[in-house]
Amino acid sequence: MRRFLDGILEKARETGHIATLLNRRRYLPEISHGAPAVRRFAIRTTIHAPIQGTAADLIKMAMINIDGLFRTRRLKAAKIMQVHDELVFEAPQSEKAEVMALVKKEMDAVIRLSVPLRVDIGSGRNWDEAHG
C-alpha cells in the first residue's frame, strides 16, 4: 500500500495531476505550494482522489446505463437520489423484482476489474426500511 501511495504522490508531483481509473483528471497545482498547510491538503487530496474519483466515475456510469435500461424496457421505476456510493429508486411493486435484478446486475458489472465489484441491494417502503 505504501508503494502505491508513494507512486500516486510521485506522479502527481511530476505531472501536476492525478487520474481516476477511467482517466478523469484532477489538477493539483498546490502539490508543490510553499505553504505547508496548503501542500498537506493537496497531498491528502492526491491520495484520496484516485479511489474516490474512480468510485464516482463508476456510479455515474451505472446511473446512465440503468436509466437507459429503464427507458428501453419502459419501466416506470425512477432513480430519486444518490447518496455517496448508493442509489435510491422508486418503482411500482409490480416492477420490484425486475428493477432490483437489473440494478444489481448493472452495478456489479459496470466495469470489469481484476477484483469483483459486489453490490448490496435492499428494498422497503422507505430508506430506513430498505437498509434493515
**The residue type at 127:** W
Q: Average pLDDT, stretch 74-87?
A: 94
Pairing relation of β-strands 86-90 and 78-83? antiparallel
pLDDT band at 8 (very low <50, low <70, confident <90, very high): very high
Average pLDDT for 59-87 = 96
Q: What is the pTM of this model?
A: 0.85
Q: Does domain 57-130 have CATH number 3.30.70.370?
A: yes
CB 78 within 8 A of CB 93: no
**DSSP single-letter state for residue 90:** E
Query: What is the mean pLDDT of the segment spanning 60-89?
Result: 96
Q: What is the mean pLDDT of residues 89-108?
A: 96
The ranges assigned to domains in the chain are: 2-55, 57-130
Look at residue 84 and tell me whether its pLDDT is greater than 90.
Answer: no
Mean pLDDT of 80-104: 95
Q: What is the pLDDT of residue 85?
A: 87
CATH class of the domain comprising 2-55: mainly alpha
